[in-house]
Structure 1
Amino acid sequence: MINRTIALAKYKGTFEQPDIFGYYGGFGGAYIPEMLYPNVEELKSRYLKIMYEDDFQKEFRALLKDYVGRPSPLYHAKRLSEKHGTTIFLKREDLNHTGAHKINNTIGQLLLARRLGKHRIIAETGAGQHGVATATVCALMDMQCVVYMGEKDIERQAPNVARMKMLGATVIPATSGSKTLKDATNEAIRDWINNPVDTHYIIGSVVGPHPYPDMVARFQSIISEEMRWQLKEHTGSEFPTHVVACVGGGSNAAGAFYHYLEEFAVQLVAVEAAGCGIRSGMSAATTQLGKAGILHGSKSLVMQTEDGQVVEPHSISAGLDYPGIGPLHAHLYETGRALFLSATDEEAIDAAFELTRLEGIIPALESAHAIAGLDQLKLTSKDTVVVCLSGRGDKDMAAYMKAMGE
């Protein structure tokens, strides 16, 4: 176990942004094929300037308000609070248009791609929420859209596949490997290599080569930006004692943590997917099972064999079924800035039913892992906890019906 106090005392950098080479401590960078170098360099040299231009921010925030429906509510979950003997707020990203946090990033990246002169969009997706969010904004802005999705995920997330197709996207199955998110990402990267001039790859999480982890975190930082002023309205203080979020690649967690990264009194809590158990051979708890390696264009913690072959992950949640973690989160783990927990498939299912019956909110299986993490924290009546409820559960009804024996 990392001694958080000692690790933080030794750390002299900033958590909010990587260095000029895209590294958070020892994690990050851009490990890319030569064919992609011009695209990635163009992004790296222009993304910050474009993102913070007045006309970009005006258009981005207008769409977040009028199209997505932001700000998403910060809801005081009274019965869940009573159960845990503390004060718990839910950041309701499940109420966004398309049902998850993903659209915050897809709107931002599409506006960026348009300013870079791209007219074809590709994306990868696991649970389908990022794919739906990408297809949605492509329909809105009349852009060609191709989404890569693991064949296994296509089967277990059929409603989202139908949504993508209805929105005009072409959904291409990834049939290699575990046929899940990792393999969909591989296929999307191959597409980008073959179409470097006219295509922008909208990566859905804080993974990939620099500048993607930083860019996605910045677009998702609207979550914690809102949390601060909303919490002050509720409690008189911008600062909770804990911020809790599920982590696969980690975009919702990056967004929920972002404006608290340098506020060391706030405990950041990331909950990974333990699958059938951390040591079961069917897990996606990367910080517990991974070691430093290269995956999808960046150096991070990766589940791999002794000779460097990627280990197939497992989670009941398609969005957490990934053998790596974003470099920011690897850095938060290594320095002890964030506490990393894990929840099994069974614990996530139980947490989903508990939230549904206590608060009348059906969460995505991804978000249910964050709710399950509450049982592992030693909370008191003086604590104030914010849980990022990253998505809604209608896409996971098949899994919930199976749990009910339907």
Structure 2
Amino acid sequence: MSHPLHNLDFASMYDLEIKHGPDSGGHFGKFGGRFAAETLMQPLKEIEDAFYEAWADPAFHEERLDLLKNYVGRATPLYHAKHLSAEVGGAQIYLKREDLNHTGAHKVNNTIGQALLARRMGKKKVIAETGAGQHGVATATVAAMFNMECNIYMGREDIRRQAPNVFRMKLLGANVIAVDSGTATLKDAVNEALRVWVASCEDTYYIFGTAAGPHPFPLMVRQFHTVIGQEARTQCLDQTGRLPDVAVACVGGGSNAIGLLHPFYDDSEVRLVAVEAGGHGLDGNEHAASLAAGKPGIIHGSLSYLLEDAEGQINGTHSISAGLDYPGVGPELAAMLEDGRLQLDAATDDQALDAFKTLTRCEGIIPALESSHAVAAGIRIAADMKPEQTVLINLSGRGDKDMGTVFELLGDDIDKETGGDQA
């Protein structure tokens, strides 16, 4: 499904062909599918049909890519982190700067696409779930731009630790609805949003935030985010003359990971690494490493890897980063793992904080705590490589939203390092 987009001077780097599945039932290998309430089957089919129709329409891409350029700020830079590379003493580290997008993260790539689809379907209201708040902010942003009513479901615990993003959503005109069930985090926000959508799907579009959920959401979210990896692929060739040796992304549900990694799927010389949240360590249950420690099961409408107990109940998870605090993962990443195309890594809370501090001090770039997990693993991988090799890390978001959490954990240490109470 390649279309000439003559009116966009930067569109040549984007491949619009839908590659590597899913099948007609939404399956990536044995994973994926559409396991949803009977009342949602028809709305999901309507979204699927509308998506394929839109994807085949050059006018849809003209508007989508124009907004990504002139509203979001794409293409985002690929930055050679020379000081960080020298500090590590191994491979050259390149950062894909998704933190420089409007709204501060990769999430807006998807919300632009789905909001255009919602408008195309005649929907006037949108809902979304959010964990770290970045998808909520991105949804509230496009809802304001398209003059749509917007409700965002967010776990009470995530509201507490992501207060700046909660205020941004409200400032943009969205209603932020607290979810108190379960662990009051992302899993529970998804549950509530799906429950509400069952009763309101006639006039409401659910802008699903990650590459999980029932078909067609994993496919749509992937396609809207492949701009990340397609840009990075072209930029690596332009800047280094070759593809990266390793591409690294953090993974919770999987939106930024599949967006970076999928365009390198057929490049067998590129190692694809997904970095999960190790929390307090993988020895106990206080982590969110679904691919490493989970097993196949159904969560939020699709078959994938998830964390559950012997009775099949979803386990509680923990990560310092609200966006990775999720007990499942997108089905395509599960399929890539079983196919041997995806390698796993993990970073603990402490390792992510160390990487957060290291990147900030070395390059003057303050990453989101989600992205800090990818940076931690990328640093570790690069240290064992040669200086002529390259590691590409997806810097999926900026760290403004995490200042409260980081201050609680590192504030006293930073004060001591920089002169105590002089300020």
TM-score, scaled to structure 1: 0.95
Deviation at residue 382 of structure 1 after TM alignment: 2.8
Structure 1 range deviating more: 126-135 or 288-297? 288-297
Name the SS for the 1:385 alignment partner.
strand
Equivalent of 1:101, from 100, 106, 116?
A: 106
Alpha-carbon separation, structure 1, partners of 2:166 and 2:55: 30
**What secondary structure sits across from 2:404 in the alignment?**
helix
1:78 corresponds to 2:82: yes
User: Which of 377, 380, 386 lines up with 2:386 in the alignment?
Assistant: 380
The aligned counterpart of 1:116 is 121
Given that 1:35 and 1:196 are in contact with CA atoms closer than 8 Å, whether structure 2 keeps it comes out as no
The answer to whether the 8 A contact 1:154-1:161 is kept is yes
1:18-29 map, 5 Å: 18-29=22-33
Paired residue type of 1:163: R
Residue 288 (1) aligns with residue 292 (2): yes
**Residue in 2 aligned with 1:276?**
280
Task: Give percent identity, aligned residues only.
Answer: 53
The superposition leaves residues 169-199 of structure 1 with CA deviations (integer Å, 9 ceiling, x where unpaired) of: 0000110000000000000000100102111
Residue 405 of structure 1 aligns to a residue in which SS? Answer: helix
Partner of 2:421: none
What's the counterpart of residue 323 of structure 2? 319
How many residues end up aligned between the 2 structures? 392
223, 229, 233: which one aligns with 2:228:
223
- Residue 359 of structure 1: aligned partner: 363
Match of 1:264 in 2: 268
1:319-357 C-alpha deviation (Å, 9 max, x unpaired): 000000000111111122111101000000000000000
Q: How does 1:140-159 map to 2 (within 5 A)?
A: 140-159=145-164
Counterparts of 1:162 and 1:233, CA distance in 2: 40
Instruction: Please say if 1:203 is aligned against 2:205.
Output: no
2:93–2:393 Cα contact (<8 Å) kept: yes
Query: Structure 2 CA distance, aligned partners of 1:23 and 1:262?
Result: 19
Secondary structure, aligned partner of 1:197: coil
Choose the corresponding residue for 1:68, options 64, 72, 91: 72
Tell me by how many angstroms 1:402 deviates.
Answer: 1.8
Q: Is the 8 A contact 2:378 2:391 kept in 1?
A: no
Query: Counterpart of 1:403?
Result: 409
Matched, 1:298 2:302: yes
Superposed displacement of residue 229, structure 1: 1.5
Partner SS state of residue 240, structure 1: coil
1:40 and 2:61 equivalent? no
Match of 1:180 among 185, 191, 194: 185
Q: Which runs of 5+ in 1 are unaligned?
A: 1-13
What is the Cα deviation at residue 15 of structure 1? 7.1
Deviation of 1:69 after TM superposition, in Å, equals 0.5
In structure 2, relative to structure 1, the CA distance for the partners of 1:15 and 1:50 (3 Å cut) is closer
Counterparts of 2:331 and 2:245, CA distance in 1: 24
Alpha-carbon contact 2:355-2:375 (below 8 Å) kept = yes
Matched, 1:336 2:340: yes
Partner secondary structure for residue 21 of structure 2 = coil
Q: Per the alignment, in what secondary structure is the counterpart of residue 57 of structure 1?
A: helix
After superposition, the C-alpha distances for 1:100-136 in whole angstroms (9 at most, x for unaligned) are: 0000000000000111111110000000000000000
Structure 2: stretches of 5+ with no match in the other structure: 1-17, 413-423
In structure 2, the partner of 1:348 is: 352
Contact 1:15 1:262 in 2 (8 A): no
Q: Which moved more, 1:76-85 or 1:343-352?
A: 76-85
Deviations 1:290-315 (A, max 9, x none): 11100000000010011110001100
Give the TM-score normalised by the residue count of structure 2.
0.91
Pairwise CA distance, 1:280: 2.1
Structure 1 residue 375 displacement after superposition = 4.0
**Is 2:143 the counterpart of 1:138?**
yes
Cα distance in 2 between the residues matched to 1:404 and 1:188: 34
Give distance in 1, aligned partners of 2:144 and 2:36. 30
Q: Distance in 1 between matches of 2:385 and 2:124?
A: 49
Structure 1 pair 15/49, CA: closer, same or farther in 2 (3 Å)? Answer: closer
Match of 1:341, SS? strand
Provide the alpha-carbon RMSD of the alignment.
1.1
- Displacement of 1:396 after TM fit? 0.3
Following the alignment from structure 2 to structure 1, what is the Cα–Cα distance between the partners of residues 401 and 298?
31
Alpha-carbon distance between aligned partners in 1 of 2:410 and 2:245, rounded to the nearest angstrom = 35
Whether the 8 Å contact between 1:148 and 1:171 is mirrored in structure 2 is yes
Structure 2 counterpart of 1:371: 375
